[in-house]
Amino acid sequence: MNFENVADNLRESFRVIAASRAVGELRELRGVSIAAAGVTFQMFNTAFLSAPVFSEAELKQRIALPSVHFDARGLEWAYWVCEDWLEPRARRRSREVFERQGLRHSVDLPGMVAERLAPPVKPLPEIEVRRVRNGPSRHAFCGIGSTCFHVPIAWFYEVFDGERVWDRFAAYVGYHQGQPVSTAALVMGGGAVGVYNVATLPEYRRRGYGEAVMRRALEEARREHGIERSILQSTPAGFRLYERMGYRTVTRVSVYAT
């Protein structure tokens, strides 16, 4: 697996969400993919590179195309950039180019892949894992995401308010003694299982709950789809854990937002 697996799966994860909403839009422009959920949370109104960029002038064009799209709709938005699409000359000053076009740098995320998971380095805790299907599990998924990603819960409800999203965005909640404490979600694409929304409530961290939910979710995907290889974008807090689980870094994803 390489950076294109990461880029393809990341793009597919946002396409699944946008396609599930009545106001969502999917567009393929010249070298740019758009997956717009049409929501307040700008990270889900997204643009992605879909072909190599060879120069600074070409990068400006790739930024201008989604800018016109989102400005016409009055939406805040984000550009998720898998940096291996940028040839060295274009990459050198890419952050400056994005910021001159009105997109501030938000975060850099290592894009990681694993052909299969390594065994746990220590026993994992007992936890009940439920796939998100109904009102209570959806409420738990959104509540944990709101707390851990520091955004209003109303934004999460707006993103995940449709029935269709839960068919292909396979989300899971882990329960400790009946209380929801951790989440993970999976999306199939790019020849791999993409892992998203791995989050654990602050008071339950460093106990192995997040890893346990993630492993159970990936095992269900293996049984259902016959695929073991997986990809994710790591936060700094999760990086060492993912390395222990067998993931290796193949690219970097930079996020820019209005």
Cα dihedral sign, 197-227-15-109: positive
216 and 145 in one domain? yes
pLDDT, average across residues 175-183: 97
The secondary structure element, H or E, covering residue 145 is helix 135-149
Taking the chain, what is the end-to-end CA distance rounded to the nearest angstrom? 31
Fill in the DSSP letter of residue 139: H
pLDDT of amino acid 22: 93
pLDDT, average across residues 182-207: 96
pLDDT, average across residues 154-183: 94
Domain, as residue range, for 98: 3-109
56 and 149 in one domain? no
Quick check: 1 pLDDT over 90?
Answer: no
**52 domain residue, yes or no:** yes
Percent of the chain with pLDDT over 70: 100
Q: How confident is the model at residue 161 (pLDDT cuts 50, 70, 90)?
A: confident
Q: Give the range among 43-52, 155-164, 214-223 with minimum mean pLDDT.
A: 155-164
Quick check: 77 pLDDT over 90?
Answer: yes
179 and 132 in one domain? yes
List the beta bridge partners of residue 248. Answer: 113
pLDDT, average across residues 136-162: 94
> What would the pLDDT profile of 24-69 be if each residue is shown by its tens digit?
999 999 999 999 999 999 999 999 999 999 999 999 999 999 999 9
Contacts of 1 (CB under 8 A, 6+ apart): 113, 115, 191, 192, 229, 231, 250
170 and 98 in one domain? no
Contacts of 158 (CB under 8 A, 6+ apart): 39, 40, 41
pLDDT, average across residues 4-20: 96
Q: How confident is the model at residue 127 (pLDDT cuts 50, 70, 90)?
A: very high
Quick check: 162 pLDDT over 90?
Answer: no
**257 domain residue, yes or no:** no
Q: Measured between alpha carbons, how far is 190 from 64 in angstroms, rounded to an integer?
A: 26
Percent of the chain with pLDDT over 90: 94
Residue pair 195/219 in contact (Cβ under 8 Å)? The answer is no
pLDDT of amino acid 41: 96
pLDDT of amino acid 95: 96
pLDDT of amino acid 236: 86
Q: How confident is the model at residue 195 (pLDDT cuts 50, 70, 90)?
A: very high
150 and 103 in one domain? no
**72 domain residue, yes or no:** yes
145 and 247 in one domain? yes
Quick check: 87 pLDDT over 90?
Answer: yes
Quick check: 167 pLDDT over 90?
Answer: no
**116 domain residue, yes or no:** no
> What would the pLDDT profile of 226-247 be if each residue is shown by its tens digit?
999 999 999 888 899 999 999 9
Provide the number of structural domains found in the chain: 2
pLDDT, average across residues 75-83: 98
Q: Where are the beta strands (DSSP E) in 2-73?
A: 25-29, 32-36, 45-49
pLDDT, average across residues 78-93: 96
Show which of 41, 75, 109 is a domain's final residue.
Answer: 109
The secondary structure element, H or E, covering residue 174 is strand 170-176
